[in-house]
Chains A and B, each alone.
Chain A
Amino acid sequence: MAKVKMPKKAPHIDMTPMVDTFCVVLTFLMLTATMRQPEPASVDTPFSISEKPTPDFNAMTFLISTDDKIFLNFDNGPDTLLAFRPKVLQEMGRRYNIEFTDQELREFQKYPSSMGVPMQHMKTFLGTNDPNERKALQVGIPIDSTDNQLANWIVAIRTVNPNVQTCIRADAMTGFPIVKKTLDILQDRNVNRFNLVTSLEATKINLEEIQQ
């Protein structure tokens, strides 16, 4: 029998299968990832037992921060080619006599998170790339009865996309009057069905325990 000759080199591990596995996991994560978009105001949603997921499209979301500012986000529709966002902005521009350039409309179309910019500053907001300047312009959508831009946004969105659903995302500590005001504005425009965004929390109740 031939004598087994031990190699003098340090044992070498072949990493190739590991790289393969990691590649698969990485691809999976990259494809399923829904990135958390940075929101203009951080909001901790309250808990509920509801298990219905948020709609992926056809939704307008009102983000109400703890300091009573309202931000609005809506999507481009079930197909990005429908491009609802620039159409809504054009509609809003007509109401406020602002002409938006193609560049600005494109910028608005791909803006990923909520916006709380008054129409007067919308052109400046879309023109700049400086995050600090943008942040300074996010002062919340005006809802005063003299300048109720939120109502106009609602009408414009619903004209462009009649199937839109209303979602309300507010912090648990947000005061109720501002939420009530938002609901009132929506109800004045004949929106009576709302989706409140919550986080899931399981609750179990024991009937016998309660009856005792």
Chain B
Amino acid sequence: MTEDLIPSRRLDADLHKDDPIIDVRNVGVSFATERGSVLAVEDISMQLYSGETIALVGESGSGKSVTARAIMGLLSRRATMRKGSQIFFRGEDVISQSKHKRRALRGSQISMIFQEPMSSLNPLYTVGGQIVEAIQAHRKISRAKAREQVIALLREVQIPEPEIRIDQYPHQLSGGQRQRVMIAMALANNPHVLIADEPTTALDVTVQAQILNLLRSLQKKHGMAIILITHDLTVVRKFSDYVYVMQKGCLKEHNRTEAIFSNPQHPYTQHLLGSEPRGSAKPLQENSPVILEGNDVKVSFMLKSGGFFKSKLKELKAVDNLSLCLHRNETLGLVGESGSGKTTFGLALTRLINNRSGEITFDGNRIDKMDREQLRPFRSRMQIVFQDPFASLNPRMTIGQIIGEGLIVNGIGEDGREREERVRQGLRDAGLPDTIMGRFPHEFSGGQRQRIAIARAIVLEPEFVLLDEPTSALDLSVQAQIIDLLRKLQDEKGLSYLFISHDLKVVRALCHRVIVMQHGKIVEQGPVEQILTEPETDYTRRLVKAAFEVAA
């Protein structure tokens, strides 16, 4: 069945009069590892016509980036191309070309932007200098002239005051601006093809939309072809003309964007499309008692400014006198851009960081004045799931030790055997097999690790769980599973969640009420439907727009 879903020629090839600008034929890439070679990409064929955008979609590890690097000729040394792989650029096979020729192609005809704008610019040089370098590498042109072009480019990518920005260093720019600089650098030599490898994943939602719009307007202006690598289906639907779906190094399906979205054929595509967070939280019972309450909670950090002899203390208010109240069995969303203080607020409410003033009440007990020893009885009743499943599990402990630690610390369970049974139950509740207790975290994928972290939290039978962006580091299809899991656990165990996120799609699927935060203050709050459909402030409107429409 899969054969007819991936013909080597595009389904709409007849609609194009010209030849494809990039024609990838039977490309395979394998990596040498200690356990023999691993096939990262096997036998992929795809075509790109000038002026259009194709999207490469798939979960992490599916070989999207490797394919893009193969086209660029940027594979690492451990990688080998399969025999018979061919990549044609304007009718010429680039794989057989010399290194020198390929380098001339790179950056001038085909260029690439990367996911992480923080690390793809060299912090030691001004942004202008780096773009000038990109221009001079391919064209003989004087410095002054190149500089003029750079200013024009920066203006084109809509960086304010390009004459000043050109002499600034990367750390002086925001993440979005750095990504614009990267785009300017990629465009410097008017390439025919631009490969964008997850260009917006590392950016705030509201910035994402701006960057994608910019890419689209530049594409129209210059007539570039774009290969967009992403796992975000909203972006794909909005920006691409043709979609290639990849899984585990193989193409599964390709078709025109509308066709894929309206009528996905391959089960994996259907799975991907169905993995958008869906559903909503079960309605809450009336008069459910309050479990956690914060009144005028303030968290601030003292920053030292001024010199050694004249040091001044400046107060940075991360959480500025905020109040919140969470009912039993309720999920309250805490939403905002990065830096809005939502995580700090959450950690202060669970007393993992100290608040400067305000009252925090957990199940009728004032906990804001307690020290760590006094708080210990409450610890098992309130738990946390962190954002990064790679940092939140101790690499030296087995899964059984990680989950069982809370039981030992809090003296839950009569003896070792009973604790072990509880750990098994926790693993099963989190949707994992209970046979993995002797394994180490590094053997598991991101989604599995996040389930382990959830198991660690629920094994203590808490009443309240703080979820600090538990899904943002995960693939979309895994996200949906984790959300389903969280919802199921809430139903079964009557948990109350404080859900911190910047992704309103996830919030809609999980929360009863939402609090929108900006710069340490609450901007807006109310039931989830109301906030998402009738946002009152511009800020909320922007967030909603970014999440559901990307760039309308």
A and B part of one assembly: no
Interface residues of A (CB under 8 A from B): none
Interface residues of B (CB under 8 A from A): none
